[in-house]
């Protein structure tokens, strides 16, 4: 994930059932979640994290405890207009449900573009909250930036077997 920001960012580690996540904020909004396989070091311990990161951590803990099915997080997604359109559509996939890359392409008006939406999906800077793990290939689970074991674990939290 790369951002075009010139402001300093804060990070916070969060240990979860899928491994250590690193949450990133510009101080006011969430701008990134780094999955365990992405090996992003956290610059803080969490105690000194901005309130937005502490709130995100609480909401993620509730999600993993199966106490939360929707997120209410101030966030900013850095990407192209097309990527932002795909990411916005991802947030409309309900908890515990999945769609195919082809269906996602249809929903964003690109019925012949499942590969393009797959690439946008793969560049999602805020996985889990923007639930790219809920998109599956038509012939199986498909890929995931955090690895297939992580994708399966996230889907299992939501009661989906893949």
Smallest CA-to-CA distance from 21 within 38, 7, 36 is with: 36
Q: Which of 60, 104, 132, 136 is catalytic?
A: 132
CA distance 153 to 20: 14
Catalytic site includes residue 150: no
Which residues are catalytic, by number? 132
């Amino acid at each position: 994930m790369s951002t075009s920001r010139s402001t300093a960012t804060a990070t916070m580690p969060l240990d979860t059932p899928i491994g250590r996540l690193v949450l990133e904020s510009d101080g006011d909004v969430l701008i990134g979640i780094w999955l365990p396989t992405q090996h992003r070091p956290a610059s803080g311990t969490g105690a000194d994290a901005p309130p937005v990161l502490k709130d995100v951590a609480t909401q993620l803990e509730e999600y993993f405890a199966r106490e939360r099915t929707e997120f209410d997080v101030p966030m900013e997604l850095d990407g192209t207009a097309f990527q932002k359109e795909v990411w916005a559509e991802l947030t409309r996939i309900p908890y515990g449900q999945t769609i195919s890359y082809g269906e996602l392409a249809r929903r964003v008006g690109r019925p012949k573009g499942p590969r393009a939406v797959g690439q946008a999906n793969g560049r999602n800077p805020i996985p889990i909250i923007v639930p790219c793990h809920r998109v599956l290939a038509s012939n199986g689970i498909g890929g995931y930036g955090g690895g297939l074991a992580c994708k399966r674990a996230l889907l299992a939290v939501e009661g989906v077997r893949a």
